[in-house]
Structure 1
Amino acid sequence: MNKGLYLFLLLIFCLNLVHAQTKVSGRVIDNTGNTVPFANVIFENSSTGTTTDEVGEFYLQSEKDYEAIVVSFLGYKTLRVPLESSVNLNMKINLEEETSSLDEVVIYRGKTSKKNNPAVDILKKVWKNRRKNGVKAFDQYSYKEYEKLEFDLNTIDSTVINNRLFNGMEFIFDYADTNNVTGKTYLPMFINESVSWVYGDNEMGKKKEVLLGNKNSGFSQNRNLINAVKDIYDDYDIYKNYIKFFDKSFVSPISTTGIDTYNYILSDSAFVDNKWCYNIIYYPRRENELTFRGNFWVNDTTWAVKNINLETSRDANINWVKQVYIEQDYEVLNDSVFIITRDFFMADFGLTKKKGSKGVYAKRTLLLNEYEFNKEKPEPFYQSQVYDPQPQVYDRSDEFWEANRLEELNKDEKGIYVMLDSLTKTRAFRRLYDIATIAESGYVEFDGWDYGPVYSTFGFNEVEGMRVRFGGRTYFGQNDPWRIQAYGAYGFRDNKFKYGISGKVLLDPKSRLILAGGNRRDVEQLGASLTNSTDVLGRSLASSSLINVGDNDKLSSINLSTFSLSIEPVKNFSLRVGANYREIRPASPEFSLDYYVNEDRTIVHSEIHQTELSTILTYTPGRIVSGYGVEPNVVNEEDFPTFFLNYSLGVKDVFNSDFDYKKLQFFYNQPLLIGGLGRSNFSIEAGKTFDPVPLGLLSVVPGNQTYFAIYNSFPTLDFYEFVTDSYASAHFDHNFNGRLLSRIPLLRELNLRELVGISMVWGEISEESKMLDASGLTLRAPDKDPYYEYSFGIGNIFKILQIEAHFRGNYFQNPDARSFAITADFGFHF
């Protein structure tokens, strides 16, 4: 889950406007007392309506006054229900079967047929004409986009209002009102508006957004939060096979794959904005899958969707989200092409999916107009700038917003700004905000500096025993041009003090020229990663795990100093040149890094002193960052590939350095959303050291003797079981998101998720490097056949835990080889 989003959700869970004139809710049943799901409910003489859910319930709201609602469903008599007042809740509505029309109309109950179904026939015409609609029908396009984001605390009742958490903030409840989709009382907690020009070129496959203005209340300085909220909503297209949000792929009811996933019913036909359209109701064929229910209107000549609403099934396998509702409107262009003009998205977050449970609404309203087409722009126009702070767009005048809003704020929405600006100034709210910040970032904020990370306060290993750590960083704001971080640690078994300190400064924001350096003296489990890291403050979980498989008796003491200069000439492509100096010696009493220093192999050294120069290229296409300081926040942490290339040069005799060598390393990581099959992650690593080096400088295949998941490690390998100077490895993990278990009746309610994975590594070690070694450790590499292991697991246990079983595939002849391992991982995931 995105860290900024997690921060905001945690904040408003700790706390745990629109004024409507007509409100209606109830349940629709038939003559036998059975509920009628997916029935149409609309206000009389309007196009404002909804459909009943799986248990026949509905809620409908409008700012206008209406005297009646009209309820209809295929095979039943249409019923007009008068409204006695402006608020009519918990109504019970009985529909009668239309017996006189049974010979003329096919009534679909349960699963509908894929053949001889008029709704499916219409859907096939939609597929045939889908490429002729929207902005994709043109070579180039541009339009103006207005976006309104809002977060609301919902299900406001007396237990919330009287909660001591709100002492000093009671005034906010004057702004509570009722949601027009769910009927729940809600309280606005955050609002953000933005206006942009969007440009696109379908021939080049390019798109660019130019932000004109941004306005929000309550968190104007927290750009991380604003970007995290925006990142909830991926760009989705109802004509594609899958609609993606919350890191999940939902089957689109308009897609060609929808016919195997949904039931379709041709419900009605009518004029919609002077265009004759057909109404089709759809609902899932199976439970617990990532699907929607709802209806859509299709024009009878262009076969384009005029309006659609999508609501996730209550049993959809998605965490922390009780319901998602989407509504889109399209308008006709030149009597042939339909373009989207309005897109409304609402997610109802909750700790549980119980109907009356409290939660948070996340809502986005998107309005688009001023379309222009086939105005070509040169390719450089679409290139993103490395440095684009745009401070002026966050400080637009009221006159700007009056002129550029595509939809006026109503009186209560304007009141949100007043309420939230007042709320963020209260001491009680600031206390809650500070608690949420600590939980998300791990840092306790003070004036100009932060203490933390608090999660690293305690650790344990066999050399240090119980370990305590304290540290902090400078922090004046997220766009700080410089930052210093430091920590100190003490082990109660070795009675030694350790420390680390690093600093970096942004010399040129336009090219992101950064100067960085630092020093660390600590105890480490080396070989926890194949790819070199010169992170002065980083420390693998393998160095501090309280419980291990077998003895963790191969720890090292390291004194690392680094200096680097990096630049980003093109957005998301960086070049870093640097130098580091390391002193490495064994920390565990029975562990040795000894190596011979003469040809006769008679003189042994136990410490390594090494100076190394490095050139690193990193490319992260599609990465989105918030802020423009020395440490920008990554918004979409798991949604972009990473390419990493490192050329290192060991230099002898500089600062008493021991070895000359050349080393080349490559790393590639690719997250993948595979339609309805779930999410995968694939990575490869390869490297070679071109000269003989001792054990402390070789590439150790990363074993894992802990019970916790460590990225790209091999859980059935022990530390230092394989050592290489040339290697290639690959890791593939896949999460089916419950697609298989959701079809098993006794398991589907648990919303568990199936996990599979396979990892392999090949490597070799030269005879020259072996001849240097005097450690007494048997140096072996997987040089005959690639070593491999595979895993099966269950995720989403209690919504936070996944457990995997790992199986060794070969090399069982290695001493003390483990054939099986268990790892666990904790985290919040949708």
Structure 2
Amino acid sequence: MKSKRAVVRWGMIGILILLGFVQSMAQTVIKGTVVDAVSKQPLQYVSVVFKGGRGTVTDSLGQFTLRSTGSINIIVASYVGYLNVQKTIIPGKEQVIDFELETDPKAINNVTVSTNKRAKYRNKNNPAVDLIRRVIDNKPLNRPEKYDYVEYDQYEKLEVSLSSVPEKLANSRMLRKYQFLFENRDTTKLQGKTLLPVYLEEKLTQKYYRKKPEKTKSIIRGEKRVNYGEYIDNDGVSQYLNRLIMDVDIYDDNIPLFTYQFLSPIADLAPTFYMFYIRDTVTDESGKKLIKMYFTPRNTNDLLFRGTMYITLDGNYAVQKLDMFLSKNVNLNFVRELRIDLDFEQNPDGRYHLSKSNVMAEAAATKGASGGFFGERTVSFKNYRINEARADTLYDGPSLVKQSDKIDKLPDSFWEKNRHDTLTGTESKIYSNIDSLEKMPSFRRTMAIATFLFSGYTSVGGGGFEVGPAAAFYGFNPVEGFKLRLGGRTTPKLSKRIYFETYGAYGFKDEKFKYFFGTTYSLNNKSIYTFPLKFVRASYQHDTKIPGQELQFVQEDNFFLSFKRGNNDKWIYNDIFKLEYVHELQNRLSFTLGYRNWRHTPAGSIVYNKIVNGNVVNIPSINTSEFSAQVRWAPKEQFYQGKVFRIPIINKYPIFTLRFTAGVKGLFKSEYNYQNINLRVEKRVFMSQLGYSDVVVEGGYTFGSAPYQLLTVHRANQTYAYQLNSYNLMNFQEFVSDHYATLLLDHHFNGLIFNRIPLLKKLKLRELLSMKIIYGGIRDQNNPDKNPDLIKFPTTLGVPTTFSLSKKPYIEGSVGIGNIFKLFRVDLIRRFNYKENPNISTWGVRARFKFDF
């Protein structure tokens, strides 16, 4: 009996000892915020340490996280100019400890005598610059590309909120039905501000990287976002927001945010544009020594950051932690504040990888506005593995794939298990609140009105048919006079397979009706406006057109384009039947096969004449049948899909378009045999602090013999709007070529010059420089002056108005000012040659609406 009691007694003692040991080994996790005791504003770079042990520093929001497996029960917060504060904690538990630091009276009473002069900053013999150059030299060793294989789990969370919504507006009668939204406000994320969440999305992705041959693979395991219903393209909103707040890679020379490129503080050119100061030596949680480095722009108006980074001293010269923000003087329109916090973890080989990225931005219409938008994108990385080979088959196929077709319909239990961090109470309510909002009839009516104002289409008959576009209801031109037009199209609500589009128009001067009818059949049972496209379309059009005018993103009948300069009476009546097949692939490669039968009749002052047996013969119309094939490749292209068109979100990758067209004589009364090949390459070239250039190179060649109407009629512009892909001082149908090469250059300096002029920098204007060049001509077999079988170039009162390019190129250039009232650019344009042509303008002023951040 005693032996049993002894066993029990010693067993209990063993359990107590084991529990004590487990408790001593349990991890202590302390999270909290440090603020000023008086102003309640967060304090960054405050040291928070376990007493006698390791510590960390607060980020730009005054937040910190401490971890330890020891039994220390006291933590201390210290900051220069403030009294130290220590608090008791419970070892082995996760807890929240906040600090309010009071100003040190001794620091207040101290009198410092200083001079306004300070030592001139120099890079030479500067230990801070020497250190940052070592960081730059070691960048290749601290990037994932150093390893043969890398894989990790990535979790992304993107949230958008309204900041500081006035109580008067929130409690107004107009918003009485929406009070449930205003009850879900967050007052803890930003000190002194109230946030009303309106958008949330989450994504969980498995990432793989292979060095040789280099290939990446991203498998999306889960995706979740709020849904505003049919009036908003939710996928487009997601892509647009993620384009504005992209991944931050500090080891890249340029950091893309808000459609701009910000120079990294460890870029190769960083010592030229930044100033660096060594502040202190600190110890991180693992006991490693770090150099605390402060950096700031030499010119506070440039697209540069200021902040603090912590650099390792173990020979890696890696960034272990970085907190930075934008200067308030930076030339950005609506972005009022931008902060970036990056944390890195050490790999088994001693190198560091990014473990968490947090980007926060606040935007407002005006600088003094009380409210605005707040966006936050958090990306975290877990299960980081290096040099673990995977089968080559893993990397086959597209680089981005979805694990299944149901990744957006996963249960809450999946997200609770796989999120890298739990949602706050406010965040967790966003999904249900927006779902309730989308179902409200009043919200649907409001969105229908907003859609009509922005897209020009309005739904009728339950949403299965849309009437529009409104901008084309009315217009005018010299041939048709006043022109009224009414049309519309079906939507996916009527059918996801088959679509119809039509319009009818009438010109009161020529007294003729015009019309269009088209039908499209979707081959993948998806909307014909949703990527990837796969459809067959047939259409017939009887309408007018200006030769050589091909507009992007707008209707040619747009009312605002009715206002044109100079003589504008050269038109044609078109009867066009088109049949085309469009197929887009996930890798952004697309194919278009088409057939077109085109009969065009001259209108206005255009007359089709040619010489037959020495006599002038009038040709009533031209008929042609042609087949076409187009291949387009736009690597990693993203776009926002609107109601009428798709707006590309321009990135650093080029876009290639190759097109071949062949006219077949005798097919459906076609009169000519010819072939045309055209190649177009577009690219945005980022030049760091020098801004960026949009560059287009295009060339074409027409084989065979054809009248000038079937050659390349160069894109001219006689409106008062600046057009990027047209020649703004060229008259309609002024130049025709059967072989040509063009270069279009549009450079944005982003305020590089104006930011350095005291009075101008406050206006946040931006400089623009453009150049457009065509070099080409017409071979003798296609020149009507040398081939009498062809239709003659048009004339006005016997004076030629259409020409071929001779031995010299056509050149026009412009200088401009952008960001006027944050919405407009105005260009002063100069035409450099072919000034002898009749009725041309040598100088011109053109304006363009352009929205920039």
**TM-score interval (norm. to shorter):** 0.7 to 0.9
- The equivalent of 1:12 in structure 2 is none
Give the alignment partner of residue 647 of structure 1, picking from 660, 672, 678: 660
Distance 2:467 2:403 in 1: 28
Q: Closer, same or farther in 2 for the Cα pair 1:431/1:278, shift >3 Å?
A: farther
Q: How does 1:427-826 map to 2 (within 5 A)?
A: 427-446=441-460, 447-476=463-492, 480-508=496-524, 513-529=534-550, 539-540=555-556, 545-568=561-584, 571-588=587-604, 590-596=605-611, 598=612, 600-624=614-638, 636-637=649-650, 640-769=653-782, 770=784, 771=788, 772-774=790-792, 776-777=794-795, 778=800, 779-826=802-849
- State the Cα deviation string for residues 388-421 of structure 1 (Å, max 9, x = none): 6943101111221122111122333222333333
Whether the 8 Å CA contact 1:808–1:818 is kept in 2: the answer is: yes
Give 1:31's aligned residue. Answer: none
Q: Distance in 1 between matches of 2:792 and 2:403?
A: 55
Opposite residue 584 of structure 1, the aligned amino acid is H
Report what 1:359 is aligned to. 372
Report the CA distance shift for 1:127/1:379 in structure 2 as closer, same or farther (over 3 A). farther
Does the Cα contact within 8 Å between 1:791 and 1:807 map onto a contact in 2?
yes
Question: Which amino acid letter does the alignment assign opposite residue 96 of structure 1?
Answer: A
Is the CA contact (8 Å cut-off) linking 1:460 and 1:545 kept in structure 2?
Answer: no
Give the Cα separation in 1 of the matches to 2:385 and 2:249: 20
Q: Could you state the TM-score of these two structures normalised by the residue count of structure 1?
A: 0.85
TM-aligned CA deviation for residue 581 of structure 1: 1.0
Tell me how far apart the structure 2 counterparts of residues 24 and 451 of structure 1 sit (CA, whole Å).
Answer: 56
Shift of 1:134: 4.0
**Structure 1, residues 454-501: CA drift from partner, whole Å, max 9, x if none?**
333333322233333333222226994443322233334334332223
> Contact 1:384 / 1:571 at 8 angstroms: preserved in 2?
yes
Structure 1 stretch displaced more, 121-130 or 106-115: 106-115
CA contact (8 A) 1:79 1:95 kept: no
Q: Residue 296 in 1 paired to residue 333 in 2?
A: no
Structure 2 residue 417 is matched with structure 1 residue 384: no
In 2, the alpha carbon distance for the partners of 1:630 and 1:160 equals 30
Secondary structure at the aligned position of 1:703 is classed as: coil
How far off is 1:87 after superposition? 10
CA 1:630–1:810 in structure 2 vs 1: closer, same or farther (change >3 Å)? closer
Deviation at 1:640, TM superposition (A): 4.1
Partners in 2 of 1:654 and 1:581 — Cα distance? 9
Give the Cα–Cα distance (whole angstroms) in 1 for the partners of residues 175 and 677 of structure 2: 58
CA gap of 1:277–1:61, structure 2 versus 1, over 3 A, is: closer
Residue of 225, 228, 238 corresponding to 2:240: 228
Q: CA deviation at 1:338?
A: 0.6
Contact persistence 1:663–1:690 (CA under 8 A) = yes
Matched, 1:144 2:153: yes
Residues 1:50 and 1:211: Cα distance change in structure 2 (over 3 Å) = closer
Q: 1:614 to 1:285 in 2, by over 3 A?
A: same
Decide whether the 8 Å contact of 2:160 with 2:373 is kept in 1. Answer: yes
- SS class of match (2:562): coil
Task: Pick the aligned partner of 1:330 from 344, 357, 362.
Answer: 344
Measured in 1, the distance between the counterparts of 2:450 and 2:188 equals 26
The alignment's C-alpha RMSD in Å is: 3.8
Partner of 2:107: 96
- Deviation, structure 1 residue 141: 1.0
Q: Distance in 1 between matches of 2:494 and 2:200?
A: 20
User: Equivalences for 1:194-205 in 2 at 5 Å?
Assistant: 194-205=203-214
Conserved 8 A contact 2:472-2:557: no
Aligned 8 A contact 1:60 1:183 in 2: no
Normalised by the size of structure 2, how large is the TM-score? Answer: 0.83
2:283 match: secondary structure: strand
> Once the 2 structures are TM-superposed, how far is the Cα of residue 824 of structure 1 from its aligned partner?
1.0
Deviations 1:752-797 (A, max 9, x none): 1111111111222234430322454234212211111111111111
Secondary structure of 1:748's counterpart equals helix
Query: Cα deviations across residues 589-632 of structure 1 (Å, max 9, x unaligned)?
Result: x2223345x455543213112211112222222223689x9999
**Residues 288 and 379 from structure 1, CA distance in 2 versus in 1: closer, same or farther, beyond 3 angstroms?**
farther
Indicate how the Cα distance of structure 1 residues 145 and 435 shifts in structure 2: closer, same or farther if over 3 A, else same.
Answer: farther
CA contact (8 A) 2:59 2:341 kept: no
Amino acid at match of 2:828: A
Q: Which one is further off, 428-437 or 358-367?
A: 428-437
Structure 2 gaps of 5+ residues are: 1-30, 67-73, 88-96, 527-531
Which amino acid in the other structure matches residue 405 of structure 2? P
Q: What CA distance in whole angstroms lies between the structure 2 residues aligned with 1:414 and 1:259?
A: 44
DSSP-derived class of the 1:226 partner: helix
Residue in 1 aligned with 2:280? Answer: 268
Letter in 2 for 1:655: F
**Deviation per CA, 1:68-106, whole angstroms, max 9, x where unpaired?**
96442xxxx5544899xx999999898839989999xx9
Q: State the match for 2:93 in structure 1.
A: none
Name 1:124's counterpart in structure 2: 133
Rounded Cα–Cα distance in structure 1 between residues aligned with 2:533 and 2:613: 48
Report the more deviating stretch, 386-395 or 705-714. Answer: 386-395
Conserved? CA contact 2:33–2:42, under 8 Å: no
- Is the aligned partner of 1:369 residue 2:382? yes
- Give % identity: 29
- Contact 1:592–1:775 (CA<8 Å) still a contact in 2? no
Does residue 249 of structure 1 match 2:261? yes
Deviation, structure 1 residue 341: 0.9
Residue 145 of structure 1, CA deviation: 0.7
8 Å contact kept, 1:437–1:443: yes
Contact 2:83 2:103 survives alignment (8 Å): no
Counterpart of 1:185 (choices 186, 194, 205) is 194
Classify 1:78/1:502 alpha carbon distance in 2 versus 1 (closer, same or farther; 3 Å): same
Q: What's the offset of the Cα at 1:586?
A: 2.1
Structure 1 residue 231, shift from structure 2 partner: 2.5
- Separation (CA, whole Å) in 1 of partners of 2:349 and 2:117: 34
Task: Look up the SS of the partner of 1:120 in the other structure.
Answer: helix
1:385 touches 1:570 (CA, 8 Å); kept in 2?
Answer: no
The alpha-carbon distance between structure 1 residues 669 and 635, as it changes in their structure 2 partners (threshold 3 A), is closer
1:16 is aligned to none
User: How much does 1:453 deviate?
Assistant: 2.6
Bigger shift: residues 607-616 or 176-185:
176-185
Q: Is the 8 A contact 1:524 1:543 kept in 2?
A: no
Distance 1:780 1:26, change over 3 A: farther
Rounded to whole Å, the distance in 1 between the matches of 2:349 and 2:119 is 37
Q: How far 1:806 moved relative to its partner?
A: 1.2
Q: Which residue identity does 2:251 align to in structure 1?
A: Y
Look up the equivalent residue of 1:206 and give its one-letter code: K
Q: Which has the larger radius of gyration?
A: 2
